[in-house]
Amino acid sequence: MAEGTESSENTSVARDPYSVLGVSRTASLAEIRDAYWRQVRFHSMGTDPGVRLQELREAYETLTDPVRRAAYDSPAVDGEPAYPPQPVAPAPLPEPGPTEHEAETQRRRHSRNPLDRLTAGLPRPWRIAIDWIVTIAGAILIVLAIKEWVVNPYRIPSSSMEPTLHCARPGQGCEARLSDRVLANRFIYHFRSPRRGEIIVFNTPTAAAEAACNASGTFVKRLIGLPGETVKEKDGFLFVNGKQLNEPYIQSDRRDHQSGTWLVGKGRYFFMGDNRRESCDSRRWGSVPRKNIIGEVFMTYWPPNRISFHAIFPAPWWFGLVLLTPLRRRKRSGVR
């Protein structure tokens, strides 16, 4: 035999089918199928895949046929297999399973989430970006909706409501280092009318407030007079329809010594600050129409040592909050 050549007998020796597919001798049929398709996908990208794919197919057919596999696994006797292979039809090739992208697309198309169905055909980075955009936009809309129709925070800028609500020094008449920040219930007055003694956020009559106080906008005051009532101040003490108003929230050194009488019109409300000496209120710019009322202040939430409630809760379980916060129930005024 010439040097550098091999016999046809050596070249016809078949490779181990287990090694060809890269599986163990105890591999199940499912593992053999997965390994076969994994190898087919990998070797299909080569420049000349024909020989390798034929080898993979032969190994697959050998290992998926029980008789041929048993014959191959049996020990040989005198060079012959203990169980010679029987001619059988080749095992059908399994259908290729869906790729990860196809499976994800199918899942999204059958999802109950409308966003998943709309973005099912888009690349994964695009879907992730759209999910984030929709999530952030939804969160912003929820916050804006809560602020507009449910609860909105406000900062106390002046001393007109001292000592009930603090403003920050060095403002005139301010007692605290930090201004109180309060929460107003914006939906409560859709179900009932405002009540005397409640601390309320409202918009002032712009022109009148600018002329009287050189300021207008959103104010926080206490409701004193209801529609149709007559409010009278005599030397710092208030009378409603001729009866003196009990005001335990007023400190004696913060009373003024003014006098005057005001008739509250229909559908209008009369507001005053607890710090009568420093409050520019309905005594100067008149009563406020019902449409200008925003909501009731029910809680001070900042600073932490000032956390308190200003509304009276009908449910008795609210008294459990005294274990967590210094609950201060607002003392509501009454006519005597």
Find out whether 155 and 179 touch, Cβ atoms under 8 Å. yes
Using CA atoms, how far apart are residues 318 and 187, in angstroms rounded to an integer?
A: 20
Q: Provide the pLDDT confidence category of residue 155 given band limits of 50, 70 and 90.
A: very high
Q: Provide the pLDDT confidence category of residue 246 given band limits of 50, 70 and 90.
A: very high
**What letters, b where the CB count within 10 A reaches 16 and e where it falls short, cover 217-254?**
eebbbbbbbbeebebbbeeeebebeeeebebebbeeeb
Average pLDDT estimate for 267-272? 96
Q: Provide the pLDDT confidence category of residue 7 given band limits of 50, 70 and 90.
A: very low
The answer, as to whether pTM is greater than 0.75, is no
Q: What pLDDT does 48 receive?
A: 63
Using CA atoms, how far apart are residues 97 and 137, in angstroms rounded to an integer?
A: 38
220 pLDDT above the threshold of 90: yes
User: Residue 264 to residues 15, 138, 213, 227, 288: CA-CA distances in angstroms?
Assistant: 104, 44, 20, 5, 9
Using CA atoms, how far apart are residues 252 and 210, in angstroms rounded to an integer?
A: 29
- The H or E element containing residue 302 is strand 293-302
Find out whether 278 and 158 touch, Cβ atoms under 8 Å. yes
Q: What pLDDT does 106 receive?
A: 64
User: Residue 134 to residues 129, 130, 143: CA-CA distances in angstroms?
Assistant: 9, 6, 14
Q: What pLDDT does 95 receive?
A: 60
Task: Kindly write down the DSSP assignment for every residue of 248-274, as one continuous string.
Answer: TT--GGG----EEEEEPPTTEEEEE-S
113 pLDDT above the threshold of 90: no
Average pLDDT estimate for 302-306? 93
| Ramachandran category for residue 228: left, alpha or beta (phi over 0 → left; psi -120 to 50 → alpha) | left
Average pLDDT estimate for 18-28? 86
Q: Provide the pLDDT confidence category of residue 94 given band limits of 50, 70 and 90.
A: low
Least confident of 88-97, 147-156, 165-174: 88-97
**Residue that the structure tokens 């601390």 belong to:** 199
Least confident of 15-24, 73-82, 242-251: 73-82
Find out whether 221 and 202 touch, Cβ atoms under 8 Å. yes
Q: Would you name the residues annotated as active-site residues?
A: 160, 221
Q: What pLDDT does 194 receive?
A: 96
Q: What pLDDT does 110 receive?
A: 63
Kindly give, in sequence order, each residue whose CB lies less than 8 Å from that of residue 319, ignoring residues fewer than 6 positions away: 327
**Amino acid, res. 261:** T
154-313+320-335 — its CATH code? 2.10.109.10
Using CA atoms, how far apart are residues 163 and 141, in angstroms rounded to an integer?
A: 36
Using CA atoms, how far apart are residues 262 and 61, in angstroms rounded to an integer?
A: 103
318 pLDDT above the threshold of 50: no
Enumerate the domain spans of the chain: 12-81, 100-148, 154-313+320-335
69 pLDDT above the threshold of 90: no
12-81 — its CATH code? 1.10.287.110
Average pLDDT estimate for 89-112? 59
Using CA atoms, how far apart are residues 237 and 246, in angstroms rounded to an integer?
A: 9
Q: What pLDDT does 311 receive?
A: 67
CA 336 from chain center: how many Å?
Answer: 48
Q: DSSP assignment, residue 168? A: B
Average pLDDT estimate for 273-296? 94
Average pLDDT estimate for 85-112? 57
Question: Same CATH topology for 12-81 and 154-313+320-335?
Answer: no
